A and B are shown apart, each in its own frame.
Chain A
Amino acid sequence: MKKYIILFGLSLLTSSLCKAQVSINTSSPLGIFYIDGAADNTTTSANRFKNDVMVDVNGSLVLGKATQPSVGQAKVDITSDAAYGTLKMADGGEGDGMVLFGDANGYARWGMLKGSGGYRLSLTAPTAAMATGTFYTVGFNNSLNYIPITEKGSYIVMIRMAATYTGTLGRTGGYFYLHKNTVNTATMGIDSIEMYMECLTGKKFSTYTVLRALDLAVGDKIYLVMRPQTEGTWTLDLSLTTVFFYRV
């Protein structure tokens, strides 16, 4: 059973004769539906209208105007005194520098534009010593063991790493691979490099390199795989091992 309810505010009976006007917390509503969030429209506060929400005669949703609005300037019209104050959208892709993108159906998402974003990932794995000749897919602080691709494009993976070396040669080498979607250690992946580092057993060494991932599609997953080789074992210092990821 349907109910037809005319909702009146707590203090008012202001429904006009020709139009149903509903308000909450105010006796001087505008539009069709009006909420005075802080019930302060009768005060002299300069901010008294900024806590108001209205649906106007066109069916537009109007929030936060500094002066009492009679009609909105867009279907959804949001005003804020401060940057980052109008709209919050959490879809998993949000992050410093991400940009609002749209698809063919008008759905919005946060994505990475060349020159606009890029982010830093910390490593969470492997935590144990990495054995010579063994492949290790690293884990990231995004709770994944890959980097998710949300925008079609080409990307750079920059690695800044420190690890403790245990061995006898005083020099170690190791492979760094990027694999797309599945880790197939029988291949070199979509990009790879072997790095050689002079080192001392029981001491830390650092290395820094850059890998590329070209022409990725939305939904692709990029795995970073490390393999110590010739010779010794590595124990990553996770606090000093960082990946920068950005679009080029």
Chain B
Amino acid sequence: MKKIILSGYVFIISASVFSQVGINTRTPYTNSVFHIDAKGNNTSATSVTRAQEADDVVIDKSGNIGVGVVNPTAKVHIDSSKGTIKPLRLADGSQGINKYFFSDTQGRGTWKDKPMPNGIVYYSTTPKTLTKNVFTELPVEVNSAGYSRITIPRAGNYVFTLRWWGALDAIPIGTKLMSTATIQLCRYVSSTTSTVLDQTTYYTSVTGVGGSTTRFSFTVSFFASNLPAGDILFLRLRPDDGYNWLTGASLAADQVKQTIYYPSIMVYNI
């Protein structure tokens, strides 16, 4: 067989015509463009046994990479079935026992714990005035283990369902309007900084009954993906309808500490 020894520069030139590069082999596989036979045990360019290809790395004419296989059928095709070496090891510091490989938005992966469904409802019993045109954070002091905000227990994607219960302040009797608020799901960064993860503006029909007893309720959800464990979140609400919004208003003494008369927030991973 003809043997050609070339430098890298010449190789690039020679690649302008179809050529195969074989390393450690005199018989680069016929369908490959680049073929490394680590153990140098291949004997034919057209017929490769399972044992022979187990130590081979190829790039084929479609640009597919085969590791342990000379006929890759995926962009990266690994075959470790012949031998004791495991197929794939991905070590980025996050690896651990029983972890799952998770994607980000771009398809890059990392290891995380198996998702465990979890959920909690956060309540409040603190009367508040949510001043019109201003964002006010919704309190979650009940069920949040001493925290004033929502702490994410495990990494994952979460839904936050706000169950609003409150009143419009000082809306005249008989006045019907579309009560409006912009509600934001925020990540707490510092006392002066937060990041909005999801938001909407919600419209609800309300008819005034006077005073602070024009009560109304609605339910709406928010979504945040790829939250790390320990992330601190909160919901904030800005009345956009020209009225102050009230929670815990006009309650009887025995009602003030009942969580049903306040907004609550259900948090669960999906």
Interface residues of A in 92-113 (CB under 8 A from B): 93-100, 107, 110, 113
Interface residues of A in 71-117 (CB under 8 A from B): 72-91, 93-100, 107, 110, 113-117
Cβ contacts under 8 Å, B92 to chain A: 79-86
Interface residue stretch chosen among B129-137, B140-148, B220-228, B245-253? B220-228
Interface residues on A, range: 35 or more
CB pair B221 A158 closer than 8 Å: yes
Cβ contacts under 8 Å, A200 to chain B: 176-178, 205
Interface residues of A in 1-56 (CB under 8 A from B): 1-10, 19-20, 22, 24, 31-33, 55-56
Query: Given A3-B4, A80-B92 in contact, is the A244-B221 Cβ separation under 8 Å?
Result: yes
Most A CB contacts (10 A, CB to CB) among B200, B202, B204, B270 go to B270
Cβ contacts under 8 Å, B101 to chain A: 87, 99-100
Nearest Cβ distance between residue A89 and chain B, in whole angstroms? 5
How distant is the Cα of A110 from the Cα of B101 in the complex, in angstroms?
Answer: 9
B26 at the A interface (CB under 8 A)? yes
Nearest Cβ distance between residue B258 and chain A, in whole angstroms? 24
How distant is the Cα of A32 from the Cα of B22 in the complex, in angstroms?
Answer: 11
CB pair B108 A84 closer than 8 Å: yes
CB pair A74 B85 closer than 8 Å: yes
Option from B37, B90, B205, B219 in Cβ contact (under 8 Å) with A197: B205
Option from A75, A96, A118 in Cβ contact (under 8 Å) with B105: A96
A194 at the B interface (CB under 8 A)? no
Interface residue stretch chosen among B110-118, B166-174, B186-194? B110-118
CB pair B103 A94 closer than 8 Å: yes
Option from A55, A83, A119, A160 in Cβ contact (under 8 Å) with B36: A55
B interface list, Cβ under 8 A from A: 1-9, 11, 14, 19-24, 26-28, 36-40, 45, 54-57, 65, 67-68, 74, 76, 78-80, 83, 85-94, 100-110, 115-117, 156-157, 159, 176-178, 180, 198, 200-205, 218-221, 223, 225-226, 269-270
